[in-house]
């Protein structure tokens, strides 16, 4: 008896689905990839840790070229020395993706955990993509509020 219709196509459908099953299982079971904003902390946390531990030159070396041009190594050393907030641990607050002139940047915000009578300090780091890596482009202490920026 000859099969017709769906019964005739069943072996072909099964053969077509078999190669897709392992790919589907891999896709469903794979570990979720870190979001870009999670990845931003892999840059900002070590940067701040280097500063806190006194490795200011190493922190400066890891920054973007614009940062180095604007501040210079000696300028960065003076900036860090004037900011007691860098001597204490900072708590991560948030990170946002921003767009400046068509380029995506990441802004990560940190706060100090002051002991009275110290005041609460904020640190804002802006990251840019340069030479295949994300790097600190700007470091601000107690910055002015960010203006409304297209996100």
Give residue-wise pLDDT tens across range 114-133.
776 667 889 999 999 998 88
Tell me, what's the pLDDT at 39?
80
Mean pLDDT throughout 99-126?
Answer: 86
Tell me, what's the pLDDT at 111?
93
pLDDT band at 151 (very low <50, low <70, confident <90, very high): very low
Secondary-structure breakdown of the chain: helix, strand, coil percentages, each rounded to the nearest 5: 45, 25, 30
Residue 22 clears pLDDT 70, i.e. is over it: no
Residue 52 clears pLDDT 50, i.e. is over it: yes
Q: How far is 81 from 56, CA to CA, in rounded Å?
A: 10
Residue 38 clears pLDDT 60, i.e. is over it: yes
Q: How far is 48 from 46, CA to CA, in rounded Å?
A: 5
Higher pLDDT, 24 or 116: 116
Q: How far is 14 from 144, CA to CA, in rounded Å?
A: 62
Residue 139 clears pLDDT 60, i.e. is over it: yes
Predicted TM-score (pTM) of the model is 0.70
pLDDT band at 54 (very low <50, low <70, confident <90, very high): very high
């Amino acid at each position: 008896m000859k099969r017709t219709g769906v019964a005739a196509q069943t072996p072909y459908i099964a053969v077509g689905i078999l190669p897709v099953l392992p790919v589907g299982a891999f896709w469903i079971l794979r570990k979720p990839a870190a979001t870009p904003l999670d990845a931003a902390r892999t840059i900002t946390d070590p940067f701040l840790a280097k500063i806190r531990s006194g490795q200011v030159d190493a922190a400066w070396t890891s920054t973007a070229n614009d940062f180095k041009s604007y501040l210079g190594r000696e300028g960065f050393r003076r900036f860090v020395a004037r900011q007691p907030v860098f001597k204490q641990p900072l708590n991560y607050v948030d990170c946002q993706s921003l767009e400046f002139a068509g380029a995506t940047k990441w802004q990560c915000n940190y706060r100090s955990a002051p002991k009275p009578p110290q005041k609460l300090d904020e640190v804002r780091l802006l990251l840019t993509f340069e030479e295949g890596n994300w790097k600190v482009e700007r470091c601000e202490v107690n910055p002015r509020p960010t203006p409304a920026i297209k996100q």
